[in-house]
Amino acid sequence: MKVLQRNGLVNEVNFDSKEGKEAFWHTSAHVLAQAVKRLYPDVKCAIGPAIANGFYYDFEFPFSFSDEQLDAVEKEMRKIIKESLSLQVYEVSKEEAIAYMEEHKEPYKLEMIKELAEDEKISFYKQGEYAEFCAGPHISNVSAIKEIKLLSVAGAYWRGNEKNKMLTRIYGISFPKALQLEEYLHMIEEAKQRDHRKLGKELGLFTIFDQGPGFPVFLPKGMILKNLLIDYWREIHRKEGYMEISTPIMLDKSLWETSGHWDYYRENMYTTEIDEAEFAIKPMSCPGGMLVYNLQPRSYKELPMRMAELGLVHRNEKSGTLHGLMRVRALTQDDAHIFMMEEQVIEEIQKVAKLIDKVYAKFGFEYEVELSTRPEKSIGSDEEWEMATDALRNAMDAMNVSYKINEGDGAFYGPKLDFHLKDSIGRTWQCGTIQLDFQLPQRFNIEYIGPDGEAHRPIMIHRVVFGSIERFIGILIEHYAGKFPAWLAPVQAKILPVSDKYCAYAGKVAAALREAGIRVEVDERDEKLGYKIREAQLDKVPYMLILGEKEENKQTISVRSRDGEKQELGEMSIEKFIGLMK
């Protein structure tokens, strides 16, 4: 696939590459805009980027856009693709670009162009009669697009600002092969069935009240799930030599100025006033960890020092980005900070990577690793950034772990390794991260006394494994489609007496199972057995224990699993079932 760059050069790339997908979907967005302008010339065009899965374009329509018009636009896009239009790129002055947009009555494009530097050369990409100012790159001919589908329509404020005009956003997807679209649409349908918001409601795991958008509420079964993850987290961290701390949910503004968050993360922070002083509710736990480290003088013999915290953090996410448990305003971050000497850095990075690998294997996840380098907005010297980036790279190379480079996407204080896990239907989620930081130890002036009796500056790792408990639960719900493995299921077994006569025996069985640590419910409703079984299956309970006259007389249970070819596991003693569950 040929890709046309802003400088006019044409590169050969594969669709499966990041650059290939971006160019392909960016061009598809231009085809969408061209189709809309052909059908509705008075429409105003805003922006149309490639996104993680496909593309979108924002328009200002002079009428209410409907599904009927969506179909018409898609048909027009197919016509444009059949015209095999080649893309051309050329540059104009800012003055010429402004004149062009004024002539074509495109106020949103005009606004963006006016913000550019006076002497800046502005590139346009043209296909047929449609030209758009754009930095590119794009595929060289629209005919490479073999399948295209417009997926949905949503509202979007211009530039994401609620004070601006609401525009119409059209989402789409496209591929160089027809089969790829078929596979993608199948995955989308499967994803709808696995939607954690839908399953979370059906299974009674969590809710989000209108009075608290972005603030999830865990219901009793959801709390069981959350606590199981926390218990597992505590167990593995205790074995790995971490000590757990808990720092305040809000701290004085001066702390956040010292850490750099006030300058680099202020727009995402909630603030309040206490005793006429400004406080910030923490969006991250690291500054509190620095205060704990600084409580007393530290020796090299204490290093590496591994501090873990299940910190409740709050972030001011825009309402349009909120999405169930995946994007929230309050989250429990499974944070940890490791303070080290320079010679310990590689080994500690590798230990964290092995811990992340162990946890993801527990849940059946495969994953990919991405090394993110220095962003434009950052702190620290080039030498420190190079040293930190090399340390992350060398640690992964020594473990023979493959990784991709993500240029310019590091944290403002240091480079990072991001772990993108892959779920059961092939989607990826960024969860674990290892961030190497030379900056906060300097900003907080933390030290340790070395074997030479002199003060030295430690190096610091920020890391999470789950990412956030809330988001990880959302991923697990979708990964398992609500059918959690028995160890993780909020209700592991449901007891189904065939009639009221056997409720007393059901109570006895439930007591024995609870004594053994098994999470169990009894369905005592006056309903037929078949109905109770179907209900238990809908609740995705791993095991159903059926009790009738035979079972009571023999003091046994008949066990049935929720799915699979061998649903009937047969009659067994209570002790045998407990052994099976253990």
Diameter of the chain measured on Cα atoms: 92
| Catalytic hit among 335, 357, 523, 539 | 335
Give 452-514 as a DSSP string.
TSSEEPPEEEEEESSS-HHHHHHHHHHHHTT---TTT-SS-EEEEESSGGGHHHHHHHHHHHH
Residues 127 and 142: their CA atoms lie apart, in Å, by: 8
Residues 11 and 137: their CA atoms lie apart, in Å, by: 10
Q: Which residue in 417, 449, 453, 243 sits closest to 341, CA to CA? A: 449
CA separation, residue 299 to residues 229, 385, 443, 453 (Å): 34, 26, 19, 9
Contact call for residues 32 and 172 (beta carbons, < 8 A): yes
Which residues lie below 8 Å from residue 191, measured CB to CB, with a gap of 6+? 425, 427, 478
Token pair in block for residue 497: 């007496």
Lay out the sheet containing 87-92: strands in order across: 87-92, 122-127, 130-133
| Catalytic hit among 337, 374, 494, 562 | 337
Residues 499 and 548: their CA atoms lie apart, in Å, by: 7
Residues 503 and 524: their CA atoms lie apart, in Å, by: 7
Residues 581 and 574: their CA atoms lie apart, in Å, by: 11
Clarify whether 462 is annotated catalytic.
yes
| Catalytic hit among 315, 329, 374, 494 | 315
- DSSP lists the bridge partners of residue 314 as 330
Clarify whether 457 is annotated catalytic.
no
Clarify whether 314 is annotated catalytic.
no
CB count in 10 Å sphere of residue 424 = 13
- CA angle, 146 then 147 then 151, to 5°: 155
Q: Phi first, then psi: what are they for 393, rounded to 5°? A: -65, -45
Clarify whether 286 is annotated catalytic.
yes
Q: Phi first, then psi: what are they for 304, rounded to 5°? A: -70, 140
Which residues lie below 8 Å from residue 448, measured CB to CB, with a gap of 6+? 298, 299, 300, 302, 303, 339, 341, 455, 456, 458
Contact call for residues 34 and 130 (beta carbons, < 8 A): yes
For the chain, the straight-line distance linking the first and the last C-alpha, in angstroms and rounded, comes to 54
| Catalytic hit among 69, 333, 435, 492 | 333
Helix (H, G, I), strand (E, B) or coil at 413: coil
Clarify whether 416 is annotated catalytic.
yes
Helix (H, G, I), strand (E, B) or coil at 247: coil
Any idea what DSSP says for residue 201?
A: H
Contact call for residues 540 and 555 (beta carbons, < 8 A): no
| Catalytic hit among 26, 30, 351, 462 | 462
Clarify whether 335 is annotated catalytic.
yes
Q: Which residue in 313, 292, 331, 332 sits closest to 250, CA to CA? A: 313
Residues 113 and 233: their CA atoms lie apart, in Å, by: 50
Residues 347 and 350: their CA atoms lie apart, in Å, by: 5
Clarify whether 503 is annotated catalytic.
no
| Catalytic hit among 416, 463, 494, 532 | 416
Active site residues: 286, 315, 333, 335, 337, 416, 462
